[in-house]
Amino acid sequence: MRVLFAARDGLWPEWSPVLARLAPEMVLVRAEDAAADPAGIDAILYAPGGPVEDLSPFVNARLVQSLWAGVERIVTNPTLTQPLARMVDPGLARGMAEYCTGWALRAHLGMDGYAQDGVWRHGLTPPLAGDRQVTILGMGELGRAVAAMLGGIGFRLAGFSASGRPVPGVQVFGPDGLDQALAQAEILISLLPDTPGTRNLLDARRLSRLPKGAWLINPGRGTVLDDQALLALLDSSHLGHAVLDVFRTEPLPPAHPFWSHPRVTVTPHIAAETRPETAAPVAVENLRRAMGNRPVLYLVDRERGY
């Protein structure tokens, strides 16, 4: 099995030893080695920012396995004719759940209200988690992982997804229920992918549906959010705070108003990283499935974009 590692150079020392250990039958090659015989490549491991954008020479590749959970940077590539699988990494899901839980608890407990200024603010006791409503936009693998962790703490959970598919312990709203899901969200977590249907979904009208003082946590995709609408609602104190990990332009430019806004916390796209130790077994399983003409896991629906 000859596999092209189509990712930036810095990822090679992280991934190649793990892949070699898990799949000794794999011959892992880099772009410069594949150029001499692209027809001899059986599959491609892909991450944005690497040296390969034109996939058309790899006519015999049975699979392009993304090393990222998000596939918006490749799914629209006109040279992509091979089946594409997204990465569903248990380590990434765990990292996302921990990130969202940490920031949700900060919002829930009102940790920012206890300034160390000598004032005894005894009246700021928060409610219990069972009295706090959290809404999660996007109930895929990541959304379910976040819901499981938050549900274990006791939060009341609602979710929104395009399918409206039931999730245990979560009141799930389908496509027609977005406004209702937002209206009860004291803490809103957006895990939606970047698709034509989600871009600017959280505009001024929808953000205004959130209860006064609500927190927004967005570790999903920056394109979902109307930045100016968010800033206006934070300035008016309709929204309490925004924790933002993803942005339309990354790195976030130093002059962007998010950096200096007192009601915004910026984190540098670190909510959930793909970790080779937990992600490589998923990639290897899919490569073996493709080579054995068996059904591949997590195939991307090109029309839906994920």
**Residues noted as catalytic:** 221, 269
Give CA separation, 112 vs 89, 263, 277, in Å.
33, 10, 36
CA quadruple 239, 245, 247, 251: dihedral sign: positive
What are the two backbone dihedrals, phi and then psi, of residue 134, each rounded to the nearest 5 degrees?
-115, 135
Q: What is the 3-state secondary structure (H, E, C) of 227-261?
A: HHHHHHHHHCCCEEEEEECCCCCCCCCCCCHHHHC
Q: 298: buried, middle or exposed (CB in 10 Å: 19+, 13-18, 0-12)?
A: middle
What token pair was written down for 250?
């990354």
Calpha distance 32→149 (Å, rounded): 44
